[in-house]
Amino acid sequence: MTGTMAQNHVTIDEHGIPRIAGTRFKVIHLAAAVRSGVESPHDLHQAYPQLTMAQICSALAYYYDHQAEMDSRINAEVDLASAERLAEPMSPGQTKLREMGLRP
């Protein structure tokens, strides 16, 4: 098909965040799924049936083209979530479990 070009399914929003065009999905969502063990575009399509295979493959191509940066962002988000979780006061149930030796 001379002269044709595949549609780009990834856009960069006003905050510099890569998103799947026409959706609320960030590319980082699919990247995190891949890092957590989702092994194929087909598996991602089963997990996110509202996305087309073309959108998924474009998002994966973007991720692999920018893997170091995307992995760094994912790691930063995980670290932030862990810090926030540790900073929250324990609930009465969590305190009871700790007293029983069932929670660190």
pLDDT tens, residue by residue, 55-68: 999 999 999 999 99
Q: Give the pTM.
A: 0.72
The 10s digit of each residue's pLDDT in 66-88 is: 999 999 999 998 888 888 877 78
Q: How many residues does the chain have?
A: 104
Taking residue 26's Cβ as centre, other Cβ atoms within 10 Å add up to 17
> Stretch 32-54: mean pLDDT, rounded?
93
What CA–CA distance (Å, rounded) separates 41 from 23? 18
What CA–CA distance (Å, rounded) separates 77 from 22? 24
What CA–CA distance (Å, rounded) separates 60 from 23? 15
Share the mean pLDDT of the chain. Answer: 87
Q: Say what the pLDDT of residue 99 is.
A: 87
DSSP code of 19?
E
pLDDT of residue 4 exceeding 70: no
> Stretch 32-60: mean pLDDT, rounded?
93
> Which residue reads 């049936």 in tokens?
49
Q: Which fold has domain 10-99?
A: Arc Repressor Mutant, subunit A (1.10.10)
What CA–CA distance (Å, rounded) separates 66 from 75? 14
SS3 18: strand
Q: Say what the pLDDT of residue 88 is.
A: 80
Q: How confident is the model at residue 28 (pLDDT cuts 50, 70, 90)?
A: very high
Structure token pair of residue 41:
């575009």
